[in-house]
Amino acid sequence: MNSILRIIDLSETLISRIMFTPAEIGSMKISNRFIRSATAEFAANPDGTIIPEYLDLYSNLALGEIGLIIQGHLYIMDEGKAHKKMAGIAHDYHLDGLKQIVDVVHNTQTESKIIAQINHGGIHSVSKKAPSILEGKEAQAMTENDIETVIKSFGKAALKAKQIGYDGVQIHAAHDYLLYEFLTKRFNHRNDSWGGSLEGRAHFLFSVYDEVRSKVGSTFPVLVKLNNSDEPKQGFSITEAVEIAKILAEKGLDAIEISGYRTVRTKFESEAYFSKNAQIIKESIGDMPLAVVGGNRSLNVIEKLRHEFADFISICRPFIREPDLVQRFREGKKQADCISCNKCFKAPVIISCLDKRDSSTLEKKEDGSV
């Protein structure tokens, strides 16, 4: 083998070592470093039960050898349903369908793991529950009683997820939904023990975490998805995100996934748009595994993130277009086909790629847009 070929060969070995080594999140063994970030399917029945198409969707993701699949957000109580066609984990009648999804993933024998993301939509939900009344927005300020009920509902939902066989749960504390609304001053104008200082604003998230942990026990994997900040807006800073992540690590959180403001960007100056702040967070949380999401598209950027700080790389839209993207990367593909156009939000039956253009013929800019 001549020396150039040997260098190429070595760099390919390095790629597989960086992205395809197994790792652990708490007691959960994950076969590689790819995570499918939670992706709402927009396909549930009006009562929150799933339709059969969910099974194909999740079977294909598992067959694609994604290490960890995070299912689209599930509402923990009726009043927290964030949008139409969202699936629930609030009632016993939701559980049969969810168990079928878990089984379909576990039966593919690719070692993919699946966890449930549990959520309350806050101001975006049918009840419009929010930390405070907000000018120009329809919102219902939460009472102490409301807060206690939501905390308990998160705990019940996490326990149900454990009982039906999910490999873990992720608490959704990002993207302007209820838990994040309490963290940011953009939404939280309270001056009681659930607002004000960072300690006050984080009281709700920490109480939910403690309740979930007390229900599922110390060895069941619990993750949190958190915004890195409100940048370029103000209300929650990177310094505050670091503080929250540090405290969650001390409390025994198993892993954190870092997202941010306006997460589904159609245009971005560079890939991996939350990576700078995600790295700052990683430097403060010791050994707790961290995943970063947001615009990760090409293998060399993904590898760089992994090399520099990230334990896992989370991807959403590219897996809608190519559920087998992990396999394709392993076989030498360098760049995901997804062009971040967001047309998939309008899929008629269940989340799917609606961009019919042949991406190999499109000239992509640096930012992945066309």
Ligand X SMILES: Cc1cc2nc3c(=O)[nH]c(=O)nc-3n(C[C@H](O)[C@H](O)[C@H](O)COP(=O)(O)O)c2cc1C
- The item of ligand SF4, ligand X, none sharing an interface with residue 339, based on CB under 5 to 8 Å by kind, is ligand SF4
Site for ligand SF4 in 345-364 (CB under 6 A): 353-355
Structure letter (DSSP) for residue 126:
T
H runs (alpha helix) in 164-197? 178-183
- The item of ligand X, ligand SF4, none sharing an interface with residue 353, based on CB under 5 to 8 Å by kind, is ligand SF4
Token pair belonging to 9:
């060969």
- The item of ligand SF4, ligand X, none sharing an interface with residue 32, based on CB under 5 to 8 Å by kind, is none
Of the candidates 321, 328, 330, 333, which one interacts with ligand SF4 according to CB under 6 A? 321
How far is the C-alpha of 316 from the C-alpha of 313, rounded, in Å? 10
- The item of ligand X, ligand SF4, none sharing an interface with residue 355, based on CB under 5 to 8 Å by kind, is ligand SF4
Burial of 300 (0-12, 13-18, 19+ CB in 10 A): exposed
- The item of ligand X, ligand SF4, none sharing an interface with residue 152, based on CB under 5 to 8 Å by kind, is none
Count of CB atoms situated within 10 Å of the CB of 48: 20
How far is the C-alpha of 158 from the C-alpha of 216, rounded, in Å? 7
Of the candidates 79, 296, 340, 368, which one interacts with ligand SF4 according to CB under 6 A? 340
Tell me whether residue 64 or residue 294 sits nearer to ligand X (CB atom): 294
Tell me whether residue 19 or residue 315 sits nearer to ligand X (CB atom): 315
How big is the CA angle at 38 (ends 34 and 44), to the nearest 5 degrees?
A: 140
Structure letter (DSSP) for residue 184:
S
Number of residues near ligand SF4 (by CB under 6 A):
13
* SS3 label, residue 298: strand
How far is the C-alpha of 193 from the C-alpha of 142, rounded, in Å? 13
Site string for ligand SF4, 264-303 (x = CB under 6 A): ----------------------------------------
- The item of ligand SF4, ligand X, none sharing an interface with residue 293, based on CB under 5 to 8 Å by kind, is ligand X
**Token match 């066989």: residue?**
165
Q: List contacts with ligand X (CB under 6 A).
A: 37-40, 72-73, 117, 172, 174-175, 225, 259, 263-264, 293-296, 315-317, 344-345, 351
How big is the CA angle at 278 (ends 289 and 124), to the nearest 5 degrees?
A: 100
> Does the footprint of ligand SF4 cover residue 344 (CB under 6 A)?
yes
How far is the C-alpha of 282 from the C-alpha of 293, rounded, in Å? 14
- The item of ligand SF4, ligand X, none sharing an interface with residue 72, based on CB under 5 to 8 Å by kind, is ligand X
> Does the footprint of ligand SF4 cover residue 316 (CB under 6 A)?
no
Radius of gyration (C-alpha) of the chain in whole angstroms: 20
> Does the footprint of ligand SF4 cover residue 37 (CB under 6 A)?
no
How big is the CA angle at 150 (ends 148 and 152), to the nearest 5 degrees?
A: 70
**Binding residues for ligand SF4 (CB under 6 A):** 317, 320-321, 338-344, 353-355
